[in-house]
């Protein structure tokens, strides 16, 4: 068995070498192209009379196609938009998953190499095994997406393909490289063990992540081009240089947001996998393993979740900077209601993450010291969440409307606007961090001499941080010029991050040689805590679907904003209920497929020895080989 794997690894190594050769072959071409462009730009600057706009006017590329209702093929009984929507979303979910898993497999493998703790290596291997099947599903869904785009939106596809044809070619090449890296990384896992070989393996993991990230960035550029087109003129005539089209205004904000969100999403899915394995295994060591795996995955998910709101602010700011019209459509118009749904989901994420941590404290008897604080954390989180959730426009019955004398509420109303929500989300993050601190300390007692000072310093730090967040939120949010309203969120974020970082520093020194009061018993968690992991995974998936819809929906009736109009029968913005239903159906399909993937990884480990099926010699032979391998 082992021997076979080794062979496969070698074959893949050959494949990789071949692919690298191909890549290097392309790389110089690209490099030369850049050189070429560089040369042209020098020539242009030397000759100021030469004008770029004529380049566009006389460009061999035509303007963006003008479509009519007839340009959109229809299939009776099938709504093309919903098909594209679902397929794209499913592709995205799987892609996010298969891109995220290698990121933290790489990290976990590195941790394992450093600590020489075998459990990390086993867990990393189990993760990557899961992503192998998901990888082929991603590719299939990507093909299906392309197919349905060509089928239902041929003109849009044609237009995008004329602009991005080069990058689509690189994309295909990168996809091969990604496959090679992934297969080598997975099949070579047990072959590349120990010493230098382990380093080679880790390097392949790094390569896998680099290629995967590049793949995503490339695909991101196509969709951000549709939101913030650049490199084309007002009529959509492509200037011929692909780089501005790729590097359009929203490209980097989306790149950042997606990388962070992918890690959080991947972590939550793996967490759910571990939770399911935990629930269905009966052996104590299995339960311990999966408990530990679920905890680690959840830790990764939450660590990535905490900075996510800030990546979101950055993206939104850039959307405003690109087009205020788009920004207002996003935050002020009809989509504002989708942010109320988003608020509920994010609240669910925070609540379940905290609940999981509280339950996990039960692994050690030492945690009892901290139980009494849980209710205060809960009060802060629920209180902050209620503010976070309060909509700007209240749903009022006529009686309430009359009683209030208008649709404005003097006391609840101020919670509806951004400064209150920024304050609330920062408090929620801090409270979650406190939960984590308690969890960390559950089984330990600090032995350093300055425990009291350290603790007081931490308390003072938190108090100062909270006061600062409050002052920033309340004063700058309600009593000054609106310019500062948005600006105040940045110092708030900095405060939160500073509190977290300094507190971690203090804590790590304080608990350096801490005494263990009661051992951490992996596997000793209540089953309901595992449901918190499921809630996290389901909420995350649904949330991603919803936010994907919002991101795409703010283009409104444009395929490519202000350049190529959507004239199909489905150019309208659907109601939120409809969107939520599509997202729900997508989530159910996705989770079913994920279950299938997990199930596959489970049966691959199962071996049935049928009785009286094989002729006796054959069985003997197989056993002999297996034993020798």
Partner 1 sequence: MKIPKLLQAVLVLAIVYFGFILVFDIILDHVIPSSLLTMYMFFVVAGVFMVYTANEKSAKELVAPIKALVEDPSKKMIRNVVFVILPLLAGWYTYEKTSLSFEAPVELRTIHPAPPSSMKAYGKRYNVLKLENPFRKFEKTDPKKFKELIAEGAKVYIQNCHFCHGDKLDGKGPYAAGLNPTPANFQDVGTIAQLQESYLFWRIATGGPGLPKEAAPWISSMPIWQDFLSEEEIWQVILFLYDYTGYQPRSFGHE
Partner 2 sequence: MKNFLKVAAFSLLVIFSFAGFANLGIPKIEPAPPPTEEKIDLGSMTIEQFVGIGEKIYKGKGTCTLCHNALGGRAPLLEKAATVTAARLKDPRYKGEATDIESYLVESMIKPSAFVVAGFGKKGTNDAVSPMPDVSTGSIGMNEVEIAAVTAYLQELGGVEVTVKVPEDASDSAAEDDEEEQRKPFETVEDILDEVGCGACHKVGEDEGEQGPDLTKIGALRTEAHIRASILDPNAEITKGFKKDLMPKDYGTQLYASELEMLVNYLVALK
Which positions lie near partner 1, rule CB under 8 A? 320, 324-325, 328-329, 332-334, 336, 347, 351, 354-355, 358-359, 361-362, 367-368, 371, 374-375, 378-379, 381-382, 385-386, 389-401, 403-414, 416-417, 478, 480-483, 485, 487, 526, 528
- Residue 454, binding choice from partner 1, partner 2, none, Cβ under 5 to 8 Å by partner class: none
Of 430, 411, 412, the C-alpha closest to 422 is 430
Nearer to partner 1 (CB atom), residue 309 or residue 416: 416
- Residue 408, binding choice from partner 2, partner 1, none, Cβ under 5 to 8 Å by partner class: partner 1
- Residue 359, binding choice from partner 2, partner 1, none, Cβ under 5 to 8 Å by partner class: partner 1
If one counts every other C-beta atom within 10 angstroms of the C-beta of residue 531, the result is 17
Listing DSSP states for 50-98 in one string gives S-HHHHHHT-SSPPPPPP-GGGS--BTTB-HHHHHHHHHHHHHHHHHHH
- Residue-wise burial string across 333-371, b where 16 or more C-beta atoms lie within 10 A, e elsewhere: eebbebbbbbbebbbbbbbbbbbbbbbbbbbbebbeebe
Of 536, 500, 543, the C-alpha closest to 356 is 536
- Residue 361, binding choice from partner 2, partner 1, none, Cβ under 5 to 8 Å by partner class: partner 1
Interface residues with partner 2 (CB under 8 A)? 47-55, 57-59, 234-235, 275-276, 279-280, 334, 337, 340-341, 344-345, 391, 395, 531, 534-535, 538-539, 542, 556-557, 565-567, 571-577, 579-581, 583-584, 587-588, 591, 595
Interhelix angle 80-115/284-305, rounded to 10 degrees, is: 110
Least separation in angstroms between CB 571 and partner 2 = 5
- Residue 620, binding choice from partner 2, partner 1, none, Cβ under 5 to 8 Å by partner class: none
Nearer to partner 1 (CB atom), residue 35 or residue 324: 324
Retrieve residue 111's tokens.
């941790």
Least separation in angstroms between CB 486 and partner 1 = 8
Nearer to partner 2 (CB atom), residue 234 or residue 467: 234
- Residue 374, binding choice from partner 2, partner 1, none, Cβ under 5 to 8 Å by partner class: partner 1
d(CA 619, CA 629): 15
Please report which helix (H) or strand (E) contains residue 559, including its range.
strand 558-560
- What does residue 327 show for φ and ψ, rounded to 5 degrees? -60, -40
Of 398, 338, 253, the C-alpha closest to 575 is 338
Nearer to partner 2 (CB atom), residue 54 or residue 612: 54
Nearer to partner 2 (CB atom), residue 235 or residue 494: 235
Nearer to partner 2 (CB atom), residue 53 or residue 612: 53
**Residue 362 near residue 526, CB atoms below 8 Å:** yes
- Residue 385, binding choice from partner 2, partner 1, none, Cβ under 5 to 8 Å by partner class: partner 1
Nearer to partner 1 (CB atom), residue 63 or residue 414: 414
Nearer to partner 2 (CB atom), residue 297 or residue 345: 345
- Residue 576, binding choice from partner 1, partner 2, none, Cβ under 5 to 8 Å by partner class: partner 2
- Residue 566, binding choice from partner 1, partner 2, none, Cβ under 5 to 8 Å by partner class: partner 2
Least separation in angstroms between CB 402 and partner 1 = 9
Q: Exposure of 83 by Cβ count < 10 A (0-12 exposed, 13-18 middle, 19+ buried)?
A: middle
Nearer to partner 2 (CB atom), residue 162 or residue 317: 162
Least separation in angstroms between CB 394 and partner 2 = 10
Q: Alpha helix (H) ranges present in 407-526? A: 418-441, 451-478, 483-487, 489-510
Strand partners, 565: 558
d(CA 597, CA 133): 6
């Amino acid at each position: 068995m082992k021997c076979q794997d080794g062979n496969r690894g070698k074959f893949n190594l050959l494949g990789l070498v071949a692919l690298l050769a191909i890549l290097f072959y392309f790389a110089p071409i690209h490099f030369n192209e850049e050189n070429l462009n560089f040369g042209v730009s020098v020539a242009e600057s030397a000759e100021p009379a030469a004008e770029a706009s004529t380049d566009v006017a006389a460009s061999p590329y035509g303007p963006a196609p003008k479509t009519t209702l007839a340009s959109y093929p229809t299939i009776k009984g099938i709504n093309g938009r919903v098909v594209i929507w679902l397929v794209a979303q499913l592709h995205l979910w799987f892609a996010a998953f298969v891109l995220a898993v290698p990121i933290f497999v790489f990290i976990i493998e590195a941790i394992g190499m450093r600590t020489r703790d075998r459990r990390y290596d086993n867990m990393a291997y189990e993760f990557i095994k899961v992503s192998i099947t998901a990888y082929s599903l991603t590719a299939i869904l990507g093909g299906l997406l392309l197919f349905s785009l060509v089928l239902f939106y041929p003109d849009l596809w044609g237009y995008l393909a004329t602009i991005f044809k080069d990058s689509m070619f690189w994309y295909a090449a990168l996809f091969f490289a990604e496959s090679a890296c992934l297969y080598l990384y997975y099949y070579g896992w047990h072959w590349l063990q120990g010493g230098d070989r382990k380093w080679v393996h880790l390097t392949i993991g790094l390569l896998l992540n680099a290629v995967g990230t590049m793949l995503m960035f490339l695909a991101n550029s196509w969709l951000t081009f549709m939101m913030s087109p650049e490199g084309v003129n007002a009529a959509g005539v492509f200037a011929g240089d692909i780089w501005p089209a790729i590097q359009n205004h929203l490209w980097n904000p989306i790149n950042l947001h997606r990388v962070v969100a992918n890690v959080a999403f991947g972590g939550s899915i793996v967490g759910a996998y571990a939770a399911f394995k935990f629930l269905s295994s009966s052996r104590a060591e299995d339960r311990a393993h999966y408990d530990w795996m679920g905890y680690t995955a959840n830790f990764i998910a939450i660590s990535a979740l905490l900075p996510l709101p800030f990546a979101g602010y950055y993206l939104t700011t850039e959307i405003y900077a690109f087009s205020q019209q788009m920004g207002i459509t996003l935050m002020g118009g009809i989509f504002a209601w989708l942010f109320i749904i988003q608020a509920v989901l994010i609240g669910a994420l925070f609540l379940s993450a905290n609940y999981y941590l509280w339950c996990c404290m039960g692994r050690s008897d030492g945690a009892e010291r901290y139980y009494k604080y849980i209710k205060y954390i809960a009060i802060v989180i629920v209180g902050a969440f209620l503010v976070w959730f309060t909509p700007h426009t209240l749903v009022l019955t006529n009686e309430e409307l009359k009683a209030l004398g208008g649709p404005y509420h003097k006391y609840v109303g101020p919670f509806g606007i951004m400064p209150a929500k920024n304050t609330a989300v920062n408090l929620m993050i801090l409270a979650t961090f406190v939960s984590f601190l308690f969890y960390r300390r559950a089984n330990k007692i600090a032995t350093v001499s300055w425990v009291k000072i350290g603790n007081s310093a931490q308390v003072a730090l938190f108090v100062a941080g909270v006061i600062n967040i409050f002052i920033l939120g309340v004063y700058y949010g309600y009593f000054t010029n609106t310019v500062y309203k948005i600006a105040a969120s940045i110092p708030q974020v900095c405060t939160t991050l500073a509190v977290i970082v300094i507190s971690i520093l203090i804590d790590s020194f304080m608990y350096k040689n801490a005494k263990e009061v009661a051992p951490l018993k992996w596997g000793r968690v209540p089953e309901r805590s595992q449901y918190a992991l499921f809630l996290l995974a389901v909420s995350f998936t649904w949330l991603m679907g919803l936010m994907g819809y919002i991101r795409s929906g703010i283009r409104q009736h444009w395929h490519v904003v202000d350049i190529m109009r959507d004239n199909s029968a489905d150019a309208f913005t659907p109601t939120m209920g409809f969107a939520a239903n599509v997202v729900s159906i997508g989530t159910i399909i996705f989770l079913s497929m994920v279950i299938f993937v997990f199930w596959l990884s489970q049966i691959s480990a199962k071996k049935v020895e049928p009785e009286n099926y094989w002729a006796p010699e054959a069985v003997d032979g197989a056993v002999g080989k297996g034993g020798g391998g």
